[in-house]
Structure 1
Amino acid sequence: MNLGIINKKRMPVDAKHHIFEEITYQVDGLKVRGLLMLPNENVKRIVVYLRGGKGQVGKVRTGRLMQFADAETLVFGPYYRGNNGSEGKDEFYGADLHDVTEAVRILHQLYPDCAIHMVGFSRGGLQGLLTFQDLPVSSYIIWGGVSDIYLMYEERIDLRGMLKRMVGHPRKQADAYHERDAIAQITASSPPILIVHGGQDQQVGIHNAYYLADQLDKIGTTYRTFYQMEEGHVPRPFALTNTLSCVKQWMMDVETGNIKSHKSSK
């Protein structure tokens, strides 16, 4: 049984503990692609990386996936429909969300005993917030991520033209924006969330993180924050090491039941 995977292509990546494959899987009748980093050892943890950007900007790269890996961690990054050879059209938080949910379900079927952690970076932040609560995942990490579609429209004047083309205007196409309101779908029983953000982020302002944390407080969702106030959208190398240590410690804490409090900030 292929569980939705219809093609695998070995990628020429030299990695000590993993092989890389570009896989094609079926979603809504479309052939959607993604990059899979498969460990040589038994799989004990799965990380699903949700890319930022659109098209070639922010595309899934091997280096990004390798950040989250160890010898027993599988990492997968969906390209989203309409990107990098995937069929269909990117709808920017529309039906492309199915590319995320189907990937997670396939991985869960293949490795039912493994913890699954979703990581949403930049645009992928909202991609994850709109899907994680209904999936068999252990936690969600939103990293430099968009948390609110309305904030995105207000903040990124340079992206308004694209948002109007792909989603519409917040007032004229109110239903489309309401469907993309992730906060309204999160509950107190949603999987725990780690919020990672840089204080100098010029692409996705840190108020996205503050707003999300404030809303999670009101909802009662378990979360933790990790703010690096001197860093931008992507941390500098020395700060990136600390970020990745925090993310991996979070995954371990979730898996061992050490996420105790409703709010725990770092």
Structure 2
Amino acid sequence: MCDRDGTPRVWVQPLAGHTGEGRPLAPVRFPYAQARFGPHAARVIDTGPEPVTNVLWSPDGEWLAVQVAPGGGEHTQVWAVRPDGTDRRLLAGPEGALARGSAVFVRWIGYGSTLLVAELAATGMTEAVLIDADLGNRDTIAAGPLMWPSAVSHDRSRALLRQGPRGMREMTVADLPFGRERLLLPPTTDLGALSPDGEVAYVRSNAGRDRAVLMALRVGEAPQAVAERPDAELDRFAVSADGRIALLVWNVAGRSELEVADLVDGGTRALPPPPVDVIGSARLSLDGSLAVLAGESPSAPSHVLLCDPATGSYLRVVGDEPLAEPLHAELVRFDARDGLELTGWLYRSAPGPMPCVIYLHGGPESQERPTYNPLFQRLLAAGISVLAPNVRGSSGFGRAFQDADNHALRFHAIDDVADSVAYLTGGGVADPARVACMGRSYGGYLTLAALVTHPELFRAGVDVCGMADFATFYALTEPWIAAAAVGEYGDPVADRDLLRALSPIHSFDRLSAPLLVVHGAQDTNVPVYEAEQVVAEATARGVPCRYLLFDDEGHETVRTANKIAYVEAVTDWLTRWFTE
């Protein structure tokens, strides 16, 4: 999946040593090098005009499962298309850009053409459906609120299901076709896979511990840790179709490290460091002899790497070359006012006190990592340094840190933003008179909260699809998002007073920083009304405000032209207020 022609689409790239159908001719052995193909070698697959959000080969190589976002919004559809671009057919999802509900593919089942799909209804209910791409047959195997299907055994006798809201998710196994469910593990995290026979579930979990590990679970037996590290969290994993090995991607203070776990004889072995900082996707070929990775670094755009799990050698096969002048991301550590250690990635435009922006990631159960960010590059070129902190509530540092902003503790996360400013100004990195704050999604909310809680610290602000009022957010967002958010933010009824106190819109009489507001008109995760009320309230109070609305984007900005417009708007806005 690549946006090389301006919007995310599906491309097929032939690989040296492989047939045109993608099947290996022989075991692949290679050093890290650049595989060079002419521009004619890669071909785009016609999946229609809508942006693509995900793609996955069927095990038999006969189909591509393609997920698209009609109108650029959040209500996705699942299509099947042949690898040559023919025989495109809609498998699941709403028809029309304005339809409610959504469909997301999870994985192919067994070795044929059956796809596991999660269908989210407008009511908030989710159905797990098996769909035959050849025949179009549909079989609903599970349904419920806040349910997500993780895997189905090859013989379709068992399903692995995730249940519950954010921070309180459990894994259950259901016997098919009657759906009798049994709890495998109390509150866990999101990822799960099944052995081919369905007897063993492999789950990324932090149950009973602070950091996420790989657990092996059998019904009625105590869980066993397959792989764990005291210095890292398991970020993602992939299990081979034959169930013999798992590829593990560890998050070590933001950077990625790889291991291979032997699921038959036990034990793990480390692979050599990948030639990138962050692995954002990891999949195994059908026989487990090849890993396909998406990797990036501050100086290297996301690209595709092949990895030989036997030797740990890497081959870059698709993607642009790294920047000619490397971009350095410095991992920094500093204390919050209550003594909690915080970390962040610092990008310096020049030595000495400089204009600086605090950039806050979304989530909050996400993490700022050393990835490729054109916005940061553009700001640095304009002489603006960037600190991207991981305030409390961020993932990657253990469960206690991730839960440290729940409910009333969120006031401490807001103070973490002020403590990030104190680190910059106290260390001579930032000019105290020229500090701005910005963020997207939850980071947009936290930006607004910081601007009204600590208005004396900031010269300007940028709110990108952030929440301004928890009451309107809960009322207007997707039902499943509202239900899942209760454990993180609070109940909209029982915790009404707390949520009002945490909502920045009710403290806009303290807003003084000029504000740029960016949103996508098709956003149903954080509805556009959140941006509209921010603009209205700021303007009514005489605060300088600009509103940048993208009609053809949702919660994420995916079209290249819009990305460029966004980067330039942010840079112009901050430069303007830093120089006035």
TM-score, length basis structure 2: 0.40
Figure out how many residues of one structure are paired with residues of the other and give that number. Answer: 248
Q: Is structure 2 residue 334 aligned with structure 1 residue 25?
A: yes
Q: Deviations over 1:10-56 (max 9, x none)?
A: 97656436421222211112112222122355553211111111334
Secondary structure of the residue aligned to 2:493 is coil
Distance 1:162 1:34 in 2: 28
- Greater shift in the superposed pair: 61-70 or 118-127: 61-70
- Tell me which amino acid in the other structure corresponds to 1:66: F
Partner of 1:136: 457
Contact 1:35 1:77 in 2 (8 A): yes
Distance of aligned partners of 1:46 and 1:197 in 2 relative to their CA distance in 1, 3 Å threshold? same
Q: Post-superposition shift, 1:69? A: 2.8
Q: Post-superposition shift, 1:108? A: 2.5
- Tell me which amino acid in the other structure corresponds to 1:168: G
Partner of 2:365: 55
Select 2:405's aligned residue among 74, 91, 99.
Answer: 91
Distance 1:169 1:10 in 2: 32
Q: Is structure 2 residue 565 aligned with structure 1 residue 242?
A: yes
Q: Post-superposition shift, 1:132? A: 1.6
Q: Deviations over 1:63-83 (max 9, x none)?
A: 246355324322111112243
Q: Is structure 2 residue 534 aligned with structure 1 residue 228?
A: no
In the alignment, structure 2 segments of 5+ residues that lack a partner are: 1-252, 256-276, 278-296, 300-324
Distance 2:505 2:370 in 1: 29
Distance 1:123 1:224 in 2: 20
Contact 1:17 1:41 in 2 (8 A): no
- Tell me which amino acid in the other structure corresponds to 2:518: V
Distance 1:22 1:156 in 2: 36
Q: Is structure 2 residue 431 aligned with structure 1 residue 112?
A: yes
Distance 2:488 2:380 in 1: 37
- Tell me which amino acid in the other structure corresponds to 2:440: F
Secondary structure of the residue aligned to 1:131 is helix
Select 1:192's aligned residue among 502, 514, 519.
Answer: 514
Partner of 1:37: 347
Distance of aligned partners of 1:215 and 1:114 in 2 relative to their CA distance in 1, 3 Å threshold? closer
Secondary structure of the residue aligned to 1:232 is coil
Distance of aligned partners of 1:205 and 1:251 in 2 relative to their CA distance in 1, 3 Å threshold? same
Distance of aligned partners of 1:163 and 1:189 in 2 relative to their CA distance in 1, 3 Å threshold? closer
- Tell me which amino acid in the other structure corresponds to 1:137: F
Contact 1:118 1:139 in 2 (8 A): yes
Distance 1:69 1:192 in 2: 18
Q: Deviations over 1:124-169 (max 9, x none)?
A: 1111111123242110000122222112212142233343223322
Distance 1:48 1:158 in 2: 31
Distance of aligned partners of 1:21 and 1:10 in 2 relative to their CA distance in 1, 3 Å threshold? farther
Distance 2:524 2:364 in 1: 18
Distance 1:250 1:121 in 2: 16
Q: Which has the larger radius of gyration?
A: 2
Distance of aligned partners of 1:43 and 1:167 in 2 relative to their CA distance in 1, 3 Å threshold? same
- Tell me which amino acid in the other structure corresponds to 1:122: S
Q: Is structure 2 residue 388 aligned with structure 1 residue 77?
A: yes
RMSD, matched Cα: 2.6
Distance 2:574 2:548 in 1: 14
Partner of 1:5: none
Greater RCO (CA < 8 Å, at least 6 residues apart)? 1
Contact 1:147 1:182 in 2 (8 A): yes
- Tell me which amino acid in the other structure corresponds to 1:145: G
Partner of 2:69: none
- Greater shift in the superposed pair: 233-242 or 40-49: 40-49
Contact 1:47 1:118 in 2 (8 A): yes
Contact 1:198 1:233 in 2 (8 A): yes
Partner of 2:527: 205
Distance of aligned partners of 1:120 and 1:10 in 2 relative to their CA distance in 1, 3 Å threshold? closer
TM-score, length basis structure 1: 0.81
Distance of aligned partners of 1:122 and 1:238 in 2 relative to their CA distance in 1, 3 Å threshold? same
Q: Post-superposition shift, 1:224? A: 1.3
- Tell me which amino acid in the other structure corresponds to 2:396: N
Secondary structure of the residue aligned to 1:186 is helix
Distance of aligned partners of 1:173 and 1:139 in 2 relative to their CA distance in 1, 3 Å threshold? same
Distance 1:145 1:30 in 2: 26
Distance 1:255 1:69 in 2: 12
Percent identity between the two aligned chains? 22
Partner of 2:420: 103
Distance 1:69 1:112 in 2: 15
Contact 1:188 1:221 in 2 (8 A): no
Runs of 4+ in 1 over 4 A off after TM superposition: 9-15, 40-43, 58-61
Partner of 1:262: none
Distance 2:460 2:386 in 1: 15
